[in-house]
Amino acid sequence: MLVVVIVPQLITIAVSTEHHVLSDAAELSGLVTFPVVLGAAVLIYFHWRIAGGMQTAWLTAGLTAVAVQGIALEGLRLAETEAVGARPGWMMIVDIAFAAILLSVVLMAERTELPFDPIATGLAIGLVFTAARYLLIETAQPLPSNTELLVSWSLARFAVYLLIAYAVWHLSGIPDWARARLALAAILLNINELVSFPASDGLARNIAAVAADLIGAVMLCSMAMALLRLSIGTATQAVDELNHRVHEVEAAVRADRERLHEITGTVAGIASASRLIHQSPNISASRKSHLQRMLSSEIGRLERLMGDRPTEVERVDLDGTIWPLVEAHRARGHRVEWESNGMKAAGRTDDVAEVINILLNNAAAHAPGAVASIEVRRNEGNVEIHVSDSGPGVPTAMSDRMFEWGARGPGSTGQGIGLNVAQRLMNEQDGYLRVVNRPRGGSTFIVGLPADGEDHDAAHSAAQ
């Protein structure tokens, strides 16, 4: 930014070695500095849009007004050089009035919210003072003004800007470093005007005026850039934290839905068995005892499901895991075929039970009235549980995404949760879950688990 604002001045000085070139550079330095001030106002406006704050809103309005009326004044000096030069008194009165308005803007920043858009407010203020200058140039008679009076007015105006710098320094809604730069910039940007009356020419005066304008503009714009970076960084951090919280909430909701999904299926089996025990008059004593054992097993699993689930891999008695589920589904009127064979596997008992229960529920939902069968087989170092049905099978369109969360087939009334949960639970146990369509219709889900060490060694020895 320093390079951007200083290059035009250097070019102006380089084209001529005449002494008056420095004077012209001092007089017209506003054509470089005030657009930079306007850029700073826009940057602070973006900062306000992101971070809010009534102080930055008023600050944006004030800087916009400074930039607009400053650019307009330089334009009038170029277009109406003689008319402006002939009315220094009127120009000074407008300058003092503008400084007073600017001071009131800074003071209002600590007291009330700006009810209008900051850029629009600053633009309106700047245009009002621009119109006043133009009318005075076109219609007003020059005021009698001597050198002493102009110097006094110039000092009065600079005193107002010192008050503005003091008020800016005490703004509460802006960081200390930003307030310090802004206050210093308010002083530097008015040194040029301070030495303009009387309009004496001198090398030191011209160098001081140009340097003060350029440094003030650069300091102001760098401050605005830093504020904007700060607000963007803070907003980005807030968004990241919000996304993290949203992900945590989504994960918690997802976990609750998974748990509710399994609880619903488990409770349905418990409720059906309980009705059979208490409401069926023809139930035999052995059947009743069998159902009561199933109820005890499923209620225990339900209690563990509601609490902290075991995470250790253990020896899973597949017969003891499968039979309560088979009885629960039979109690609900589902047709399930299964024969025990005493195989063991390495996994988590409750998770294996949940996976099989999900598969039986899916078979009952998608192939109502069909027979579901469970068969346990050995496949090299794994034990596989085949859960089959004679329903319509897996639709081709669903084959690639059936294990995704929320994936549902055409006409499905489910939530698309069960298979996703089942696959995750199997992956957590170093197992697997896959599906194949049966040649004669229906589908088979294959649940694979590592064979239990002792059971695998015994089978290997028997084979030898």
Q: What is the pLDDT of residue 203?
A: 65
DSSP string, 310-357: P-S-EEEEHHHHHHHHHHHHHHTT--EEE-----EEEE-HHHHHHHHH
Average pLDDT, the chain: 82
Instruction: Average the pLDDT over each of 19-23, 248-252, 267-271 and give the range with the smallest value.
Output: 19-23
The token pair that represents 123 in the structure block: 């633009």
The token pair that represents 264 in the structure block: 């619903």
**How far is 395 from 64, CA to CA, in rounded Å?**
65
Alpha helices in 15-117 (DSSP H): 20-28, 30-51, 54-79, 81-85, 88-108
Count CB neighbours of 452 within 10 A: 21
Higher pLDDT, 62 or 441: 62
Q: Left (φ > 0), alpha (ψ -120 to 50) or beta: where does 333 sit?
A: left
Token look-up 């918690």 returns: 252
Percent of the chain at pLDDT > 70 equals 84
Count CB neighbours of 282 within 10 A: 5
**How far is 114 from 99, CA to CA, in rounded Å?**
19
Q: What is the pLDDT of residue 16?
A: 53
Is the CA virtual torsion 240, 241, 244, 249 positive or negative?
negative
**How far is 438 from 386, CA to CA, in rounded Å?**
12
Q: How far apart are the first and last CA of the chain?
A: 85
The token pair that represents 289 in the structure block: 């005892």
User: What band does 462 get if pLDDT is binned at 50, 70 and 90?
Assistant: very low
Query: Which residues are 317's β-sheet partners?
Result: 344
Higher pLDDT, 209 or 22: 209
Q: What is the pLDDT of residue 456?
A: 44
Q: Which amino acid is at 248?
A: E
**How far is 304 from 208, CA to CA, in rounded Å?**
82
Domain with CATH 3.30.565.10 in the chain: 312-463
The token pair that represents 312 in the structure block: 């250790």
Collect all residues with Cβ–Cβ distance below 8 Å to 331 and sequence separation of at least 6.
Answer: 269, 272, 273, 276, 291, 294
pTM comes to 0.62
Q: Taking the CA atoms of the chain, what radius of gyration do you get in angstroms?
A: 42
The token pair that represents 145 in the structure block: 């003004």
Query: Which residues are 344's β-sheet partners?
Result: 317
Task: Assess contact for 421 and 262: CB atoms under 8 A.
Answer: yes
User: What is the pLDDT averaged over residues 117-131?
Assistant: 95
**How far is 2 from 33, CA to CA, in rounded Å?**
11
Q: Give per-residue pLDDT as tens, 214-242.
A: 888 888 989 999 999 999 999 999 999 99
Token look-up 């007015």 returns: 153
Count CB neighbours of 286 within 10 A: 8
Q: What is the pLDDT of residue 209?
A: 76
DSSP state of 189: T
User: What is the pLDDT averaged over residues 59-78?
Assistant: 91
**How far is 171 from 107, CA to CA, in rounded Å?**
9
For the domain 312-463, what is the CATH superfamily, name and number? Histidine kinase-like ATPase, C-terminal domain (3.30.565.10)
Top-ranked range on mean pLDDT: pick from 191-200, 256-265, 369-378: 369-378
**How far is 184 from 401, CA to CA, in rounded Å?**
64
pLDDT at 200 over 70: no
